[in-house]
Chains A and B, each alone.
Chain A
Amino acid sequence: MSETATPSKTEKKRAINRLKSMYPLRNVVQQDYIDTLKASNEGKPTVWSMLNYWEGDLPLKAMGLNIVYPENYATLLAASGAAEPFLDASDSDGFPTHMCGYGRSTIGYSYRMMKENGGKIPPDAPLGGMAKPALLLGSGIICDARFKWFQSLARYFDAPEWCLEMPMMATYEGSEPDLEAYQVKFLVKELKDFIAFLEKLFKQKMDWAKLEELTDLAVKIHETTYKISELRQSIPGPMHATDFWSSMPPSLFFAGDMKVSLKCYQDMLAEVQERVNNKVSGINYPERYRLIFAELPPWHSLKFFDSLAEMGWNFVFESFGYHAPKPPDLSKYSDPCEKLARLSRNFMFNVFPEAKADNIQNPIVETYLKIARGFKADGFFMHPLISCRAASCSLRTVQHWEQEKLDVPSLWVEGDIIDKRVFNPQEVLARAEAFEQTMDHYRKVRKSRGLDW
């Protein structure tokens, strides 16, 4: 279907054509853990936060506080093969085993730190580990685990807690005429209370000018990453999913210095644009199939994507929940809390008008229909997780409607983000080969229906 970059004859061909601009972004996160630990050793507080779609990140950063994200740290535990003793510790302290793998591994981390190691970081913790929290910042966005898990951490740390609010709504009620104003009012009140609490806890004033500056930077970062996502619709797909997963944290939770991150994403945009201009693919094999990955990846087995790339499977898009949507125009609002509320709320509500117009009840389905059309997907790789409800519960309906409305089939592979024992790469590869025939078949069906891919 397309031309690919040709490696020299002597070097072993790498299956995935990694973007050079990905590496500095990946380093931002690693450096952030190291810097935060260093700051903690110097007596500065560390905040443990859940992903909060920016409404918590930016006020904390504006006050110069150091933040770690256990949810992200858990992916590092899994990717470095270090998760098991932490999962076991969570089990031994009585937490049910079916719960979020990120939650279980960092509950286990906290248990080992506080109950076995006298408050010191467990020696096998990657990247030096996470220092003890001065604040536990949970959030109500996306999943129940995000606040229940942090509430549970109080079992190990007497740190104060806060739970950030965010409305959740489905299509019909999500388009009530008065809804937006009233939701923003709610979020602004909550944010003001939250900031007042931060001031009291850390005995310092909010730097409102800094908060505005960071919100503006956030918008610029998201405008850039959004442009990268749009460019990824090109054929061949210029950026593989693994590059996205490695480079997303500075846009998902603004790890590191946001000015540096913005520059890195601008470099990434330029590199992706160049690939598009020259029809360079994100894999070093001819792109035979364009796949979408839904939803959270098997962090413990990312190498597995090399084998699929060798088969010509290009994962051209992935994990919608990790992507910032096109940011809203915030220029007409003067209150920094309102800007923040609108930026954050936009993640939850940007797709509602379209979903309603399409007569789709589940906005996640609508999002993935849009993605399948825009990216001319040949198939979905559905990855329901044994330990995460939020990222798994809609996948059956997504599968159903992709097939029904667009004749795009799915490969259904049960697995987990953390627990590698439930993932069998050999078996999946065997099923993948058979799935190629299904994708070939539906390519013809789509053409016969007048769809253009």
Chain B
Amino acid sequence: MVTATTKGLSRAHEIYADRGKRVRELRKAGKKIIGYICLYPPIEIITAMGMVPFRIFGDMSEPITVADKVSTTVVCPFLRSIIDLGIKGKFDFLDGAVGAHTCDIGMTTIIAWRDYIKDAPFTHLIDVPHTDHAPAVDYFEGQINFFKQHIEELAGEKLSGDKLKKACELHNKQRKLVRDLYDLRKSDPPRLNSMENLEVMVSLFSLPVEEGNELLEAVIREVKERSIKPAKKKARLLVWGPVFDNTSLYELVESTGADVVVDDTCVGTRAFWADVKAPYDLHALAQRYLVDIKCPRTYRDTQHQETERSYDKDLDSRFSYIKKAVTDWHVNGVVLQSVKYCDTHGYEVPNLRHYLDTLGIPSIYIEHDYSERSLAPIKTRVEAFVETLG
């Protein structure tokens, strides 16, 4: 628990170092802990049922040793890491695991979980449509409804509209606080670095929403009171890409003489930028998750039903939120990072780089295999890139 006197950042550091600690305590006290993979399971429903949503991450420092019997090596190493940890019993504090068809392998991960990971007896897979077409939003609402019914069975009670509304408000509050925290990185130099920021984000995915909100309030207080050192760096970078749940990449980038001031990743802004809107019902959840989260896994049909298509207009509709971030955080370079074998992000790379070129923002693309070992060779390239921005 964060008190007025506890330093928020040191608490975040502790949680980051042992993500399961707090939920284990809560589980002992009778709470159900529901793990979820990626951003698409609507966590408001879990919170509303009095359970704790816990985002399942991999571990970049733990070699993958047993997942090979379940998955081929040519798939997302982040998800392979999750399977590996699961088989090794590292998620023994979970009562359930919820996956979604965020990507091909995201879906098969939860299927494999059922056969090979025995720790979370409750599992559920949510189908996520590929487009943001109106019928797809309705379809997704139906999927969320199946999930709701299934979790009601687990809880032994029905979900009331009031509880769902309250949970949506709590999560929206968290999103607002995260946006406030990110605002504190607009200054030059930023008031907190990207490693500290990531530790806070990872903590939020490891705590009940109320505790996460308290943590955020404490962190914001603490960061606001900091005096800014005038040590400006050469570059202010935005980091883009899929899940990155480990500070090592940010350490690497910042060690080259740059500040990472903002990101578009699913452990950062992508998870917190969109709110659930009133009336906080299942349709509003469907809208928030399928349409408002900006992840390349969804085919955002920016010129739906139009018989003339403009590539430039399409790019602008898809990526103008990045343009806004570039302006608001005074970014002068973008690092696109991805794990190997991530198709949804891989196809996006040349198009996003082209868009950034049109904005006059230099970019670099780096690929790694979600292991700390694979980051070292990238450093020279990042250094050379940052050098050009100086």
**Which A residues are closer than 8 A to B by beta carbons?**
93-96, 98-100, 103, 138, 140, 143-145, 147-149, 151-152, 154-155, 158-161, 163, 165, 167-173, 176, 179, 182-183, 186, 189-190, 193, 196-197, 200-201, 361-362, 384-387, 389-390, 392-397, 400
Contact = CB atoms under 8 A, between A and B. Distances in A.
Interface string B57-99: 0000000000011111011100000000000000000000000
A412 to B, nearest CB: 9
B367 interface: yes
Nearest to A190: B135
Contact of A144 (B127, B297, B301): B297
Interface residues of B, number: 62
A173 B146 contact: yes
Interface string B95-133: 000000101110110111011000000011111011101
A186 B138 CA distance: 8
A163 B296 CA distance: 14
B108 A393 contact: yes
Given A362-B108, A397-B115, A95 B307 contact: no
Nearest to A412: B72
Contacts of A147: 130-131, 299
B74 A396 contact: no
Contacts of A151: 299, 347
A397 B70 contact: yes
B358 interface: no
B115 A189 contact: no
Interface string B325-354: 000000000000010110110111111011
A140 B139 CA distance: 14
B309 A392 contact: no
A389 B101 contact: no
Contact of B347 (A99, A159, A167): A99
A286 to B, nearest CB: 34
A389 B125 contact: no
B201 to A, nearest CB: 25
Contact of A170 (B107, B139, B305): B107
Contact of A173 (B124, B306, B365): B124
A163 B105 contact: no
B372 to A, nearest CB: 20
Nearest to A156: B311
Q: Give the interface centre of B76, B349, B353 by most chain A CB atoms within 10 Å.
A: B349
A169 B308 CA distance: 34
B72 A396 contact: yes
Contacts of A193: 133, 135, 305
B104 A389 contact: yes
A94 B353 contact: yes
A219 to B, nearest CB: 25
A95 B104 contact: no
User: Can you list the 7 inter-chain pairs with the closest CB atoms, starting with the nearest?
Assistant: A140-B130, A148-B347, A94-B350, A189-B135, A186-B139, A361-B114, A96-B346
Given A165-B136, A170-B107, A172-B125, A389 B343 contact: yes
B303 interface: yes
A165 B135 CA distance: 10
A205 B130 CA distance: 27
Given A159-B309, A197-B305, A389 B74 contact: yes
Nearest to B112: A397
Contacts of A159: 309
A140 B301 CA distance: 13
Contacts of B308: 158, 160
Interface of B: 68-72, 74-76, 101, 103-105, 107-108, 110-112, 114-115, 123-127, 129-131, 133, 135-136, 138-139, 142, 146, 296-297, 299, 301, 303, 305-311, 314, 338, 340-341, 343-344, 346-351, 353-354, 365, 367
A361 B68 contact: no
B314 A160 contact: no
B345 to A, nearest CB: 9
Given A173-B124, A393-B105, A385 B74 contact: yes
B69 A396 contact: yes
Given A173-B124, A173-B125, A389-B341, A395 B72 contact: yes
8 contacts: A160-B308, A161-B301, A163-B130, A186-B136, A389-B104, A389-B343, A392-B75, A400-B69
A167 B127 contact: yes
B111 A94 contact: no
Given A98-B341, A165-B131, A152 B309 contact: no
Contact of B340 (A98, A144, A361): A98
Contact of B133 (A145, A165, A173, A394): A165
B136 A155 contact: no
A144 B139 contact: no
Contact of B305 (A96, A144, A200, A396): A200
B353 A95 contact: no
B111 A155 contact: no
A201 to B, nearest CB: 5
Given A99-B346, A189-B138, 16 more contacts: A96-B349, A103-B347, A140-B130, A144-B297, A148-B299, A158-B311, A160-B308, A165-B129, A169-B127, A190-B133, A190-B136, A361-B112, A389-B76, A393-B104, A394-B108, A400-B69
Nearest to A152: B347
Nearest to B139: A186
B311 A154 contact: yes
Contacts of A171: 111
A393 B38 CA distance: 18
Contacts of B354: 155
B135 A96 contact: no
Contacts of A163: 130-131, 299, 301
A182 B68 CA distance: 37
A160 B309 contact: yes
A255 B115 CA distance: 39
B354 to A, nearest CB: 7
A163 B297 CA distance: 13
A381 to B, nearest CB: 15
Given A99-B343, A182-B139, A93 B125 contact: no
A148 B305 CA distance: 18
B70 to A, nearest CB: 6
B323 to A, nearest CB: 18
Contacts of A149: 347
B355 to A, nearest CB: 11
B111 A361 contact: yes
B346 A182 contact: no
Given A94-B365, A389-B105, A168 B131 contact: no
A189 B133 CA distance: 10
Nearest to B338: A96
B309 to A, nearest CB: 5
A361 B99 CA distance: 14
B109 to A, nearest CB: 9
A307 B353 CA distance: 46
A256 to B, nearest CB: 28
Contacts of B346: 95-96, 98-99, 148
A171 B111 CA distance: 8
A95 B338 CA distance: 12
Contacts of B297: 144
Given A93-B350, A361-B115, A393 B71 contact: yes
A365 to B, nearest CB: 9
Contacts of A95: 346-347, 349-350
